[in-house]
Chains A and B, each alone.
Chain A
Amino acid sequence: MPGKLKAKIVAGRHLPVMDRASDLTDAFVEVKFGNTTYKTDVYPKSLNPQWNSEWFKFEVDDEDLQDEPLQITVLDHDTYSANDAIGKVYIDIDPLLCSEAATVISGWLPIYDTIHGIRGEINVLVKVDLFNDLNRFRQSSCGVKFFCTTSIPRCYRAIMVHGFVEELVVNEDPEYQWIDRIRTPRASNEARQRLIFLMSGELQRKIGLKVLEMGGNAVVGYLQCFDLEGESGLVVRAIGTACTLEKISTLPSTATHQSNSSPSKDMKEPVFGEEVPGIPLSSGPPTPLRAQTFSSFSPSKSYSRQSSSSDTELSLTPKTGMGSGGSAGKEAGPLKALLRQQTQSALEQREYPFFTLTSFPSGFLLHVGGVVSARSVKLLDRIHNPALGNTRSYKLLDWNSFTADEPETRDAWWEEIRQEIKSHAKALGCHAVVGYSESTSICEEVCILSASGTAAILSSRFMQDGPLDTEHRLSRQPLVFSTGSERVEGDMGSSASLGFEEVVPPGCGFCHIPYDELNIPFPAQLTYCYSCRRSKVPDVLFTTIDLPADANITGKGCLIQARLCRTKKKAQGEGNATAISNLLPFLEYELHTQLMNKLKLRGMNALFGLRIQISVGETMLLGLASATGVYLTALPGPGGIQIAGKTPSDITYEQHISNMQKKINDTIAKNKDLYEINPPEVVEEIIGSPIPEPRQRSRLFRSQSESSDEVSELDLSHGKKDAFVLEIDDTDAVEDIHALLTDSPTPQGFYSCNTEIMPGIQNWTSAIQMFTSVRVFRLNNANLTNQGLNKIFSDLCENLLKSLYFKLRSMVPCCLCHLNFTVAIPEDELIQVAVTAVAMSFDKEQILENGKQSGEKTLTKAITENDEQLQFNLELNPESSHANPLSSPKGLSEVGSHPSARDRCSSWIEQLRLKAHTIRRGSVKTTSSMEKASPLPEGRSRSLRSNRSYSGTSVAVVKMTPLSFIPGAKIIKYLGIINMFFIRETTSLREEGGVSGFLHSFIAEVFAMVRAHVAALGGNAVVSYSMKECVFMENPNKNQAQCLINVSGDAVIFVRESELEAASVQPQSTTHTSNGGEGT
């Protein structure tokens, strides 16, 4: 009897009128947990009943406490007929099971009904008395903390990162049960909601058990998803990263904040956790709780694999098709059976060196290889489990207990994919995959499983020190080397000015290639790192993680999207699956090309937070790749884009091409200006660092770029030799180029990114606005070409963005962060795009490139400015402008760089114009960085803001954000995970304002319920909020619609920094913590 759950029903308010005659309601409440139900008295004739019930006590196993939600049903008493249900409240009591989370749930919770939505509120009190359970064979995992946040939560420090945990449970979908034919849709939906609550609870408990087994106490980056497979069932699956976390005492008075300019000082004594004042950064290297090694990362293996996967380009091309990933699958064959068992050996746990985290404490992430992804098309078989067919009860059945020996279980499918990801990572010379995520897209009986992540090498110091660790270091030269180099930076600090060869500026280490340069797994151009000149870096870097906090970047980042639509013939079963499998590689290739082009068009060289979503419909496939482009200082500048015509006979054609070329060049120049990409002049000619000539590259037809190596970033000429060549050989290509240029720039004052924070912006104000926007587009014209579809899809996304900018115009200057697009094809001819993001305002006057490197940056600026000032002056008298740059050594090198001097003159002018802009802005920035140095203006503006914050509302304000932090505030407590699933249906669609009205109120209701539950836990914000599912179905002819929404996040308590300051009068701490907001 390890737990006692107590619930008290206090009162209700705003109840609906249930009795037309009296315009009142006779309400009572049923409180149900497991199989026990209690009832309150009927409170007659009131819309605001005061039940003030006794404490209802449930004595239950902690296992049940984890699995089951507390169900509260409000009913209207009817003497003569059956009692009418008003609505229900599901309360997840998991947060109460953890000593560090919430202690009581108390507050007004909306009463929800699937047909009527929110129908009043109920005030409840819920508590749990938990007894210690020392049973070794227990099935519960109470006390394991769950976080959606994909970084180490702000008030914790990680003692150890154990690794990947995953689990899935399967059940029959009540919607598809035979009984569904005789019961109301409302009853079905109720059943579905209840079932999913149960399944989520069970899943969380099972994951928790795995974590305990690994010796951890928390799951970070917990990602739970539903697969509504229709008749074949309902899958709830989750992945996460097991960690051992330790709470950091939060005493603001002990603020011994690190100085902004030298973050690398802590590198020697690395600590996971937030960089906030008040944390003594002194805990030594952690002791391993459990021996665990990465035996599977033996490098010899990785190199041998390389040839086999060399067909993949950046490993982006999927291995698709039924069983085509077999080689990887077989490898894991014998493990499958064991994997499901409750007692898994530590060895199997190591099977997947995956981490769902997207940002890491400094020193953890050593090198990044690139994006790895795998997809597989599967057929959902209806007769998976005949044993389930006739069950009427909702008893949870562990799918695996039935199908453990079945070869085609979902587990095995994921197994296959994960193996493939692992082998891709190995091919990139990496032993781990970070920023890992999994997703599915289902259409009828076809299911595409996708997984992606970023191959990386992690520091073993932060994981378990196993016996194989030495082997690691021996066999992996680059690792040892770079670890050494990081130590050097640590010692020198960032005060090191640039230009000196011996010193490595911080924040370039992760760009250094992890793979062997003689054995590059894909055609890539390697150069020596532009920051430290010690290691090789690739010309472009794609990753699924957030930009590391200490990374050196130039300018600002921006959202880059590749959008693609491909038509597909209608087909059934196996044929359909094959058709999709065949299409996938082309889709991915096109998306990749688009991304690359758009990246270059913006003058950037790296992508972070890359997320490629492929959605399948009956007659088309949609691909949407979103990422945040940045210019990594360590990487070479991107070459331009050169257009080449196939048939240069026609003069008008030539003209056309040169026009287009000019347009592209203009766009690149404009973008560089817009995003302030004016890389610090690496005076390489003077230093003369030896750059090897890896000339064995083979140019792929418009794919891999070859960027400038000898030529500095200043090269804007897009000389043929170094540019990215687009050949126009058919109309498709022309369309593609047009599509490239149609992306409209963000309006003045707006920035956008899909990562946690916008690279290059730091000084957030406390004004945030989280929002969800959904659009459904109907394609009335059935016979559309691929190009036509592409245009429509692209316009849909662009227009959506434009609408967002317009909506949020009052927040300017602001940045849309964590722009998360989800696409779906709910029906034939329908495209659905859903976006959740947060708009955050920042102080315009204090725009800083990167606070951490402010000192260094200012220095750089000063140099570039002096350097360029000359040319700026020259531009004023254009006569001399031609002669003068030529006389400068830089000018000479540029001339040399493009022998095809056809458009040299125009490019000079263009270049000069660009510089003129740069200088103007550059000088502004230098002064602003000085402002930043003095804490006064910041403090003042902050206090002004705090005055603006309102108080005294009867409903507590709950902030919501998809980010892991709240700007200008400090999270002092995590109260538990919020994971909610709702279904809403209507049979009076028109009366509710059509589809838009219906969905609008539903989303508003979901927000309201999330806020209410957070407030009841005692919280004032939800961080890492995401809407994982939004399945919308309509039948306008029947005046019906239905929608499912699944949301999750972490409930937290935050304190405004201004309030913290009041306690400890240290004006600088403000500045600092807001920098900490940049994210670990």
Chain B
Amino acid sequence: MSVELDVFVGNTTIMDKEVYQLWLNGYTVNDAVKVRIEGGVMEECEASADVLLSDTMDQYRTFQMCERLLHHPAKLANQLLFQIPPDRQAMLIERYYAFDDLFVREVLGKKLSKGTKKDLDDVSAKTGVSLKSCRRQFDNFKRVFKVVEELKGPLVENIRQHFLLPDQLARDYAAIVFFANNRFETGKKKLLYLTFQDFAFCAGQLINHWTLGAVDSMMEDMDVDLDKEFLQDLKDLKILITDKDLLDQHKSLVCTALRGKTSVFNEMEANFKNLSRGLVNIAAKLINAKDVRDFFIDLVEKFIEPCRSDKWTSIDMNLFLTHYTNSAHILDTFKHHAVWTRYMGVIKSCILRMYHD
């Protein structure tokens, strides 16, 4: 004796947020039922385990049918099969495209290829995110990447329009796409202390200031790739460290400004030339794709670590970077003001964001 068939179809599709989350998290039907029983939904509604099982199966089936629509969220709004209120649609999409920070940290900057997908079981074991969920998240990254790769216009806006994601989530996806496209190295040991949100912030800075789209939003291929011309121009900044006079002048300007304002003045004064060399060298090398990948590791090694060992506070960092940037403009022989501003603006906010434990 068994229930052979059991379906429930509502004119308005009924979807339980809790069950949806369990499904997204990759629980099997039976595990989901267990979780729900522990959650106490049974007492709340005088239901039995059978009822819960039937409901869970039904919901899982509905989600599976919806899944292909969720791959193209725009379709969800004008499909006829399920009548879902718009607020529910938004919820479905947002949760489907939501990801675990732990997971994304593992694949950030990696090529979204079949090879990476094969390694997902390791990632799953490492992060504790179920393999099913890992696959969904990975496929989401890949799907978004594929769609926006070919599109003109601002990256975040494209993602928001094509996948109907809320603003913050669209920005995060933009970061993921940007990292995947430029293959930034994020997995090195020295970078492990950085969270996804740190990287996402930096990506936002890079997208907004260093890509072609940042200058001219109507340009092709705008937001995913860095502005080549700009990278080329960055080489000119080398003068700041190659010209001895300029370097000394720069140092004295910064020191004058900071004297008495910071507790790490001596360390700063002693280390100024090294730090300046580090930052300018990063700029000068960015024209090579290989060095672009190492951008973050370079920032940490050449700048953040020395400062940290000297026990700079964030306030010290902020002060230094502000005056370091501004002083360059006062130098008489330094001509590359625009490039310098564009470069340092991003560097400053990235470093400030990355400067924590």
- Could you tell me the distance in whole angstroms from the C-beta of B200 to the nearest C-beta in chain A? 31
Chain A residues with CB below 8 A from B62, complex form = 1000
Q: Check if A110 sits within 8 Å of B4, measured CB to CB.
A: no
Chain A residues with CB under 8 A of B45:
747, 805-806, 809
Query: Complex: how many Å from CA A799 to CA B47?
Result: 10
Q: Is the CB of A776 within 8 A of B48?
A: no
Whether A803 touches B54, Cβ cut-off 8 Å, given contacts A770-B11, A776-B5, A780-B1, is yes
A-B contact count (CB 8 A): 140
B48-78 CB contacts (< 8 Å) to partner A: 48, 50-52, 54-55, 57-58, 61-62, 64-65, 75, 77-78
B interface, by DSSP: helix, strand, loop or mixed?
mixed
Question: Is the Cβ of B4 less than 8 Å from the Cβ of A955?
Answer: no
B55, A999: Cβ atoms under 8 Å?
no
* Cα separation A804 to B9 with both chains bound (whole Å): 11
Residues of B near A807 (CB, < 8 A) are 8, 10, 14, 55, 58
A696 contacts chain B at the CB level, 8 A cutoff: no
Q: Are B8 and A777 in contact (CB under 8 A)?
A: no
CB proximity of B268 to chain A, nearest CB, Å:
57
Note all chain B residues with C-beta closer than 8 A to A995: 4-5
Nearest Cβ on chain A to B40's Cβ, whole angstroms: 13
- CB within 8 Å of B: which of A967-1012? 993, 995-997, 999-1001, 1003-1005, 1007-1009, 1011-1012
| B7 nearest in chain A by CB position | A1000
Q: Which of B11, B54, B55, B77 contacts A954 (CB 8 A)?
A: B77
Give A993 to B87 CA distance when docked, in angstroms: 28
Contact A958–B83 (Cβ < 8 Å): yes
Number of interface residues of B (CB under 8 A): 41
B315 interface contact, C-beta 8 A = no
Residue B46 lies at the interface, judged by CB distance under 8 Å to chain A: yes
Q: In the assembly, what is the distance between CA of A808 and CA of B51, in Å?
A: 12
- With A and B bound together, what is the CA distance between A953 and B3 in angstroms? 38
Contacts of B11 in A (CB 8 A): 769-771, 958-960, 1007, 1011
- Assuming the A-B contacts A807-B14, A1008-B80, are A778 and B8 also in contact, with contact meaning beta carbons closer than 8 angstroms in the complex? no
Q: How far is the CB of A1025 from chain B (nearest CB, A)?
A: 9
- The reply to whether the CB of B12 lies closer than 8 angstroms to some CB of chain A is yes
A954 to B4 CA separation, bound complex (whole angstroms): 37
A803–B55 contact, CB under 8 A? yes
Known A-B contacts A14-B79, A108-B80, A110-B80; A996 and B48 likewise in contact (beta carbons under 8 Å): no
Among A13, A809, A952, A1005, contact of B86 (Cβ-Cβ < 8 Å): A952
Q: How far is the CA of A776 from the CA of B6 in the complex (A)?
A: 7
Which residue from B3, B13, B14 sits with its C-beta under 8 Å from A776? B3
Q: Are B7 and A774 in contact (CB under 8 A)?
A: yes
B85 on interface, CB distance cutoff 8 Å: yes
Contact A776 B4 (CB under 8 A): yes
- A118 within 8 Å of B (CB atoms): yes
* A80 interface residue (CB < 8 Å to B): no
Q: Does A570 contact B (CB under 8 A)?
A: no
Label chain A's interface by main secondary structure.
mixed
| Docked complex: A775-831 residues within 8 A CB-CB of B | 775-781, 792, 799, 802-809, 830
Question: B61–A771 contact, CB under 8 A?
Answer: no
Q: Which residues of B contact A957 (CB under 8 A)?
A: 83, 85
How far, in whole Å, are A769 and B9 apart by their CA atoms in the complex?
10
Residue of A nearest to B6 (CB): A775
Annotate A940-975 by CB proximity to B: 1 below 8 A, 0 otherwise: 000000000010111101111000000000000000
B5 and A775 contact, CB distance less than 8 A: yes
| A950 with B5, Cβ < 8 A, contacts A955-B79, A1008-B80 known | no
Chain B contacts for A420, CB-based, 8 A? none
Hey, what's the 0/1 contact readout for A98-128 against B, CB within 8 Å counting as 1? 0000000000101000000010010000000
Q: Does chain B have a CB within 8 A of A298?
A: no
* Cα separation A13 to B72 with both chains bound (whole Å): 14
Note all chain A residues with C-beta closer than 8 A to B83. 955, 957-958, 1007-1008, 1011
Q: From residue A1056, how far is it (CB to closest CB) to chain B in Å? A: 16
Per-position contact with B for A745-788: 1 when CB-CB < 8 Å, else 0?
00110000000000000000000011111111111110000000
Taking the closest CB of chain B, its distance from the CB of A1022, in whole angstroms, is 9
B3: chain A residues within 8 A (beta carbon)? 775-778
A953 and B4 form a contact (CB under 8 A):
no
A1011 close to B87 (CB less than 8 A): no
CB distance from B20 to the nearest CB of A (A): 14
A1032 interface residue per 8 A CB criterion = yes
Q: List 5 A-B contacts (CB under 8 A).
A: A769-B11, A807-B8, A953-B86, A955-B78, A1000-B65
A-to-B contact residues, CB < 8 Å:
13-14, 108, 110, 118, 121, 747-748, 769-781, 792, 799, 802-809, 830, 832, 950, 952-955, 957-960, 993, 995-997, 999-1001, 1003-1005, 1007-1009, 1011-1012, 1032
6 further A-B contacts with Cβ under 8 Å, apart from A778-B3, A779-B1, A781-B1, are A118-B80, A771-B11, A776-B5, A778-B2, A805-B45, A808-B14
